[in-house]
Amino acid sequence: SAGNHAQGVAYAASMHGIHAKIVMPEFTTPAKVNAVMGYRAEVILKGKDYNEARGHALSICKEEGSTFIEGFNDPWIISGQGTVGLEILEELKGAEVIIVPVGGGGLISGIALAAKHINPSIRIYGVQSELIDSMRKSVEEGKLASHVTGETIADGIAIKHPGDVTLEICMKYVDDIVTVSDESIALALFKLLERNKILAEPSGAAP
């Protein structure tokens, strides 16, 4: 995980008394590492990006016979994240547009499926950093993009290799995916804090 999904898995495991090993990239912020450890999960920092961390997690599972939980490219994970879409429509009656930060595509896939099931006319837009726009390029090319490189301050959506499951859903249910600069993300962070007193992480400020 890039860090946010890891916290959800760690929390769920702790609630059921299950030991969880969470593999995250080496650049993961201390705040996210500490949050995962706060749920009594074992944290392993490995790899320069999400893909390398995922590969290491798969190796551990093969060696130990453990259960591997995908970060985003899994129907069950997508279904769970779809509850966010349900909550949005419950709290914002008559919403016409939902804008979602996009990394691997799990969150926006779940939201799009749930929201469009209830309201087929609602529009779903994704936002990525222009420095790592893997899902936007994949949708544009109609296949998984394999040439995305770069770094962004929005580490929670810094996924260079999206999934085939999420790509298929995004191509069918997401109206468009746009990109923003890191400068715009930083400005949004500042405005959220200054005007709304909301402390967001860069990934959350991207939309």
- Ordered per-residue pLDDT tens for the chain, 207 residues: 877 889 999 999 999 999 999 999 998 889 889 999 999 999 999 998 888 999 999 999 999 999 999 989 999 999 999 999 999 999 999 999 999 999 999 999 999 999 999 999 999 999 999 999 999 999 999 999 887 888 899 988 988 888 999 999 999 999 999 999 999 999 999 999 999 999 999 999 988
Residue 168's CATH number: 3.40.50.1100
Chain position carrying tokens 């249910």: 173
Residue 165 lies inside a defined structural domain of this protein? yes
Specify whether 79 is located in the same domain as 155: yes
Number of independent structural domains in the chain: 2
Buried b / exposed e over 91-105, threshold 16 CB at 10 Å, is: eeeeeeebebbbbbb
Shared-domain flag, residues 125 and 172: yes
Under 8 Å between Cβ of 139 and 179: no
70 Cβ partners below 8 Å, 6+ apart?
77, 163
Instruction: Let me know whether 8 and 84 are in one domain.
Output: no
In a domain, 69, yes or no: no
Residues 50, 79 within the same domain: no
Residue 198 within any structural domain of the chain: yes
With respect to residue 101, please indicate whether it lies within any of the assigned structural domains.
Answer: yes
Query: Based on the domain organization, do 97 and 14 belong to the same domain?
Result: no
Q: Residue 129 is part of which domain span?
A: 75-205
Tokens for 156, please give them. Answer: 């929670």
139 and 38 fall within a common domain: no
